[in-house]
Amino acid sequence: NLYDEKPAPDVILITHPHGDHLSPEALASLNTTNTSFYVPQAVADEMPEEYLAQTTVISNGESMEYEGITINAVPMYNLPEEGARHAKGWGNGYVLSMGGKDVYVSGDTEGIPEMRNLEGIDVAFVCMNLPYTMDINQASDAVLDFEPTIVYPYHHRGQDIEEFKKLVDAGNKDIEVRLKNWYPR
C-alpha cells in the first residue's frame, strides 16, 4: 500500500467526482477513522456511504475553519462554459490559509478569471492535463497573472513541465517553479 508508512490524514479535500479525484479505492487504502472531508455537493452525491458522516459540503465562495486552517472553496471550471467538462459550481478549487500562508489547489480548471485574480498566494498547485484542464501555455499565462511565490505543476501527465518552467521563468523570475515526479510508477 502506497500509504502504509504515512500518517493518517486529518483532512481530505476533494475537488470533483471524476475517478482520478474521488477514488473509493484510494480512500479505502487510508486510515480515515478521524479524517474530515470537505467536498462540493457533486462529490457528496457520489461519496461512499462509509464517509458521509465525516463529510462537509462546501461550495464556491464559502469558507470554513478546521483547527486553525481556513478552507476557502474557489471556482474551478472549463471555458467556454457551454458544454464544459467541468461546469462552473460543480467542483471546487481551494485556498487554504494557515500560519500566515495561503496555498492554492486549482482542481481541474482552465485559466479562469477567478484564478487570474487571486492575490497573495504563497504556494500554488496548478493542474495541466488537456483536455480536462490547461495546456502549458494557458497554465503559465495564468500563473504569471496571479504571481504565486512558488508553483507546483501537477496532474500533468503528458505535458512538458520543463517547458512550463521555462515559460514562467521567462515571464517572472521571482516565481519559483518546483517540478516533482507525481507519477513514480
Neighbours of 107 (CB within 10 A): 27
C-alpha to C-alpha distance for 99 and 118, rounded to whole angstroms: 18
Residue 185's pLDDT is 62
The pLDDT value recorded for residue 35 is: 98
Find out whether 146 and 119 touch, Cβ atoms under 8 Å: yes
Task: Give the pLDDT score at 119.
Answer: 98
Taking alpha carbons only, the member of 9, 21, 97 closest to residue 54 is: 9
> How wide is the angle at C-alpha 87 spanned by C-alphas 52 and 85, nearest 5°?
100
Is this model's pTM higher than 0.75 or not? yes
The pLDDT tens digits of the residues spanning 76-105 come to 998 876 777 787 889 999 999 999 999 999
**49 CB-near residues (< 8 Å, 6+ apart):** none
Cell digits of residue 68: 486553525
Please name each of the domains of the chain with its CATH number.
Answer: 59-177 (3.60.15.10)
Instruction: Output Rg (C-alpha) for the chain, integer angstroms.
Output: 16
Residue 184 has a pLDDT of 67
Phi and psi torsions of 167, nearest 5°: -65, -45
pLDDT the model gives residue 132: 79
DSSP secondary structure string for all residues of 41-84: HHHHTTS-GGGGGGEEE--TT-EEEETTEEEEEEEE--SSSTT-
Low-confidence ranges of the chain (pLDDT < 70): 81, 184-185
Provide the pLDDT for residue 84: 72
The whole-angstrom separation of Cα 96 and Cα 94 is 6
